[in-house]
Amino acid sequence: MGLFNKKNSFAQESQMADKEVISSIIDSEMVIKGELVFEGKARIDGSIEGNIQGEHLILSESGKITGDIQVASFVCHGALEGNVQASLVAAHTSCRIQGCIKSKTLSVEPGAEINGELKITSKELRLVDPRDALKTANG
């Protein structure tokens, strides 16, 4: 398993996500069209067409997401067409990601397919109002 950042940092963040009990499951027979917002840990076995915000997200091998993801941790076994913003991203062998990944910690297993841009940060990620960013850039 290849990874960026310190191994201990990944292990600690991964353990925190692993301890969380799965509170929501989107079954393999389900298709959701629209925005999904959740707390806790969610597993997606079905299909989501829309953006997702939450804490800990697991995309199983049968799962497919078309949309952007903003979560604390993202464990990917399935297919994603969209961008990811998370503190921790784990791309497993069966995963296919097409889009930009912004993460503090990234783990990629051999065989995982990632087509896009990787941005590994040393700071916590947060949303910034574009108007504030323009003010800062213009002085």
Per-domain residue ranges of the chain: 2-138
> Quick one: pLDDT band at residue 135, thresholds 50, 70, 90?
low
Q: Which residue bears the tokens 């841009």?
A: 117
Per-residue pLDDT, 2? 45
> Quick one: pLDDT band at residue 129, thresholds 50, 70, 90?
low
User: How far is Cα 66 from Cα 110, in angstroms, rounded to an integer?
Assistant: 23
Per-residue pLDDT, 12? 52
More confident call, 12 vs 1: 12
- Contacts of 9 by beta carbon, 8 Å cutoff, 6+ apart: 105
Average pLDDT over residues 34-54: 95
Rg, C-alpha atoms of the chain: 15
Tokens of 73: 């941790």
Count helices and strands in the chain by DSSP H and E runs: 2, 17
User: How far is Cα 59 from Cα 95, in angstroms, rounded to an integer?
Assistant: 9
Tens of pLDDT, residues 19-43: 667 878 898 999 999 999 999 999 9
